[in-house]
Amino acid sequence: MDDQTDIAPPWASMRNKENILLRPTNRSIPELISNPETPSKVTDAAIARAKLVSKSMLIPAAEASINDLVTALFEFTLNTPRAMQLQRDMIRAITILLR
């Protein structure tokens, strides 16, 4: 038996394993964007910008600054009532740290 098979991942000892939605990853951002397990039509910067502009979260033809993107994330957390509280809190946490 391989010695590595007996080592449990860090989250394995946590209670309520079924509630764990986020786990550390060693994949790159491009790998995460193109992940077939989470298909999306938003796959590059041009499509991302168009999507945010279509939802009035960015000004068309304006530079997308970090502040603009942070504001868009905050707006998103306020305007997505169907999202789970954990999802909203995680997005808010990332947004606050980006400021």
Does 14 fall in a domain? no
Does 19 fall in a domain? no
Token pair recorded at residue 25 = 């990853």
Does 16 fall in a domain? no
Q: What is the mean pLDDT of each run of 10 residues along the chain (99 residues)?
A: 49 49 73 86 91 91 89 87 86 86
CA nearest to 70, candidates 46, 35, 52, 94: 94
Does 35 fall in a domain? yes
Number of domains in the chain: 1
User: Residue 41's domain spans which residues?
Assistant: 26-98
CA nearest to 55, candidates 34, 76, 38: 76
Side chain identity at residue 69, one-letter code? L
CA nearest to 38, candidates 14, 18, 21: 21
Cα–Cα–Cα angle for 5, 9, 14, rounded to 5 degrees: 135
Does 60 fall in a domain? yes
- Give the pTM: 0.62
